[in-house]
Amino acid sequence: MSDERFEAGMAVRRSVLGDAHVDRAEARKTAFDGDFQRYITETAWGSVWTRPGLPRPTRSLLTLVILASLGHWEEFVMHIRAARNTGATRDEIKEALFHVAVYAGVPAANRAYGLAKGVYQDEDAEKGADQ
């Protein structure tokens, strides 16, 4: 079961975060953190993100709200970038961050809005450069 969960988790992880991100993370993996990385892939991606009870955009929004509420900014930015792969829209993220303000505090939401704006500005600039 563990190998199945790992494979399912890796597929979702690649779908959400993108192959380039996962390839970079896998290349940085060492003997020291290899077991931990497998655990994350099996549990977060293979046991939670693969569950049928919530659509992927909702899981993405929940993840962003939790990360912002806890102040896990590096992971928050990673999941803002990943939202373009999950179907969570910028408008939905904007609304979700209002909940952060009410339930986790204005400073957390303010920081989250600022980080999200920065990611969106970068993405928009990349789109403009591609056109």
Residues 6 or more apart in contact with residue 81 via CB below 8 angstroms: 119, 123
Q: What is the pLDDT of residues 39-73, one digit of tens each?
A: 999 999 999 999 999 999 999 999 999 999 999 99
What DSSP element (H or E) covers 120? helix 106-130
| pLDDT at residue 1 in the model | 60
pTM value? 0.92
Instruction: Delineate the domains of the chain, giving CATH numbers in brackets.
Output: 1-51 (no CATH), 54-131 (1.20.1290.10)
H helices within 1-72, ranges in order? 2-17, 19-28, 34-40, 56-70
Phi, psi of 78 (to 5 degrees): -60, -45
Q: What is the pLDDT of residues 84-100, one digit of tens each?
A: 999 999 999 999 999 99
Confidence of residue 131 (pLDDT cuts 50, 70, 90): low
Phi, psi of 48 (to 5 degrees): -100, -55
